[in-house]
Amino acid sequence: MTEAFDILTNASLWAAVLRIATPLIFGVLGALLCERAGVLNLGIEGIMTMGAMAGWLAVYWGAGLWAGLLVAALAGLLLGLLHALLTVILGLSQHVSGLGITLFGSSLAYYLYRLWVQVGDLPPSIRPFQPLSIPGLSSLPFLGEAVFSQTAPTYLALALVAVAAWVLNRTPLGLALRMTGENPHAVEAQGLNPVMIRIGAVMAGSALMALGGAFLTMAAFNSFFPTMVQGRGWICIALVVFASWRPGKALLGALLFALFDAFQLRLQTTVSGVPYQLFLMAPYVLSILALILVARRARVPEALMQPYRRGER
């Protein structure tokens, strides 16, 4: 028990929580935007992998880190456009299209990586984002190390939570997006175009997902591996439900999952006699439990996964 307490009071744990949560925050915000507009985007794994590769490659070829993030977002936009064409314009199954994009995005990322990058004994690396030193804040005891020792994309992710919440709840655009996820016919009857709104939401959401992937290669690590997303996308899909489709709760969910993960990593090294697989499993088991407790009350967007065709009701 004392070990657990020691771990929880150690600032490095909380720093790790924010670091682990960052790609999840990007991913869950992206998935949330898509779903609020009524489109499930299971392409998230592939889009994150593609983002991880594209951003990294841009930097490897000499672009700046921020330009790399931009390239990653662009890759996400394109895959999002593909998903939108299939599901919104053609009205195909969102599940099938999403899984297809996951397979396509993951494979294409690795293919391009192998095509364009010489891989020797060690995978080539870049110089990633470094922790920002914020005058005054970073030197605070405990908080300085726990919160203010992160890389720039982490702060960007946190800021985007606030931006997403504001846009969704306070702007006419956000209202149109939410209404499209609830009843696209109502949107059309008010003179707006639900098809364009859905396409836009899926593209923007996919760009966010790709940024989540890019964080992995450009801040957390410094190289690209084809399997590095490792199910984080699926976790994001579950977190959206956990969050009842709300950005604030999505942040909470991402932090909670990251806490489980960071905690079990440290427990593995301090507690002996327990198979480490149990610890590895813990965050997922706890997530399922949390989902059961929270998600039963969730209010699903009414038109989620319902293709919109004009003139049909």
The residues binding other proteins (CB under 8 A) are 170-173, 175-176, 178-179, 182-183, 185-192, 299, 301-302, 310-311, 313
Tokens 């494979």 locate to 107
Report the alpha-carbon angle 169-173-175, nearest 5: 45
Tell me the C-alpha distance between 85 and 96, whole Å: 13
CB of 194 to other proteins, least distance (A): 11
DSSP state of 131: B
Q: Nearest approach, Cβ of 154 to other proteins (angstroms)? A: 25
> Which one, 62 or 191, has the nearer CB to other proteins?
191
User: Minimum Å distance from CB 36 to other proteins?
Assistant: 11
Nearer to other proteins, 100 or 184 (CB): 184
CB 228 within 8 A of CB 52: yes
Alpha carbon distance 292, 242 (integer Å): 9
Question: What backbone phi and psi angles, to 5 degrees, belong to 293?
Answer: -70, -40
Nearer to other proteins, 57 or 168 (CB): 168
- By C-beta, is 199 or 258 nearer to other proteins? 199
Contact status, residue 148 vs residue 137, Cβ threshold 8 Å: yes
The pair of three-digit structure tokens given for residue 231, joined into one six-digit string:
């199910």
Nearer to other proteins, 111 or 166 (CB): 166
136: alpha, beta or left, given left = phi > 0 and alpha = psi -120 to 50? left
User: Residue 65 or residue 177: which is nearer to other proteins going by CB?
Assistant: 177
CB-count burial class (<10 Å; 0-12, 13-18, 19+) for 85: middle
In 159-310, beta strands by DSSP E: none
Nearer to other proteins, 127 or 313 (CB): 313
**Nearest-approach distance from CB 174 to other proteins, in angstroms:** 8
Nearest approach, Cβ of residue 312 and other proteins (Å)? 10
State the nearest-atom distance from the C-beta of 310 to other proteins, in Å. 8
Q: What is d(CA 38, CA 32) in angstroms, rounded to the nearest whole number?
A: 10
| Residue closer to other proteins, measured from CB, 104 or 185 | 185
**3-class DSSP state for residue 243?**
coil
* Minimum CB distance to other proteins, residue 54 (Å): 28
Q: What's the closest the beta carbon of residue 193 comes to other proteins, in angstroms?
A: 8
What is the token pair recorded at 75? 């890759």
**151 three-state secondary structure:** strand
